Amino acid sequence: MTELIGQIMNISCNKAGEYKVYFWICPKDELILLQEIYNGQRNSITIHENIYSMIIRRNAEEFDMEPDDRLGECMEVYHEFEYNDNLNPTHRRKWKTAYLADNITNCLIQRNILSLWYSEEDYD
């Protein structure tokens, strides 16, 4: 069973309260190759296959998430099946991809990384 690994590539603020997060999700043994391609040390036209994005919008006290199309397909598999044990290899890869994307985006939200920060906050 192939272990996947995820890493945030970029977070940008499209407009107030809206962030676009790009991340790699690839087999663990391909991460070094993918980093070399991204840094311009190698050429490849397939790098986009391992890059996913999620738009995260802050609305009052909650966040809405909108995955790109390929990640949306993965999310459908992830929400349909509780576990990935008995899935075919294609669905297992999609399930694991969505699992990592969900964890990455939830971590950004839960750790208040995308929240507003104030200089006069009362920290008592």
CA atoms of 29 and 72, how far apart (whole Å): 25
pLDDT exceeds 80 at position 5: yes
Q: How far is CA 43 from CA 33, 39, 48, in A?
A: 10, 10, 12
**CA nearest 53: which of 20, 30, 78, 75?**
20
- pTM confidence score: 0.81
Q: Where are the domains of the chain?
A: 4-110
- Cα separation, 22 vs 104, whole angstroms: 10
Give tens-digit pLDDT for 76-123.
Answer: 999 999 999 899 999 999 999 999 999 999 999 888 887 777 777 665
